[in-house]
Amino acid sequence: MWNPLSWVMEAATIMAIALANGGVNSILTATIEMIFSSEFQRSFNV
């Protein structure tokens, strides 16, 4: 994973998946919702 080419290939894969699923905006929105919902659930499970 230290090879710079592997980072480029990984970034290209992530972008291809994001674009295939409706663009970066929908991926970011889903990720932010997932982070906040897990933080919200974690705060009440203590």
What pLDDT does 13 receive? 86
pLDDT at 1 over 60: no
For 12-46, write each residue's pLDDT tens digit. 888 788 778 776 677 677 777 777 776 666 666 65
Percent of the chain as helix, strand, coil, to the nearest 5:
85, 0, 15
Contacts 24+ apart (CB under 8 A), 31-40: none
Q: Please list, in sequence order, all residues whose beta carbon lies within 8 angstroms of the beta carbon of residue 17, skipping any fewer than 6 positions away.
A: 27
Q: What's the pTM value of the predicted model, to 2 decimals?
A: 0.44
Please give the Cα distance from 5 to 40 (Å, whole number).
37
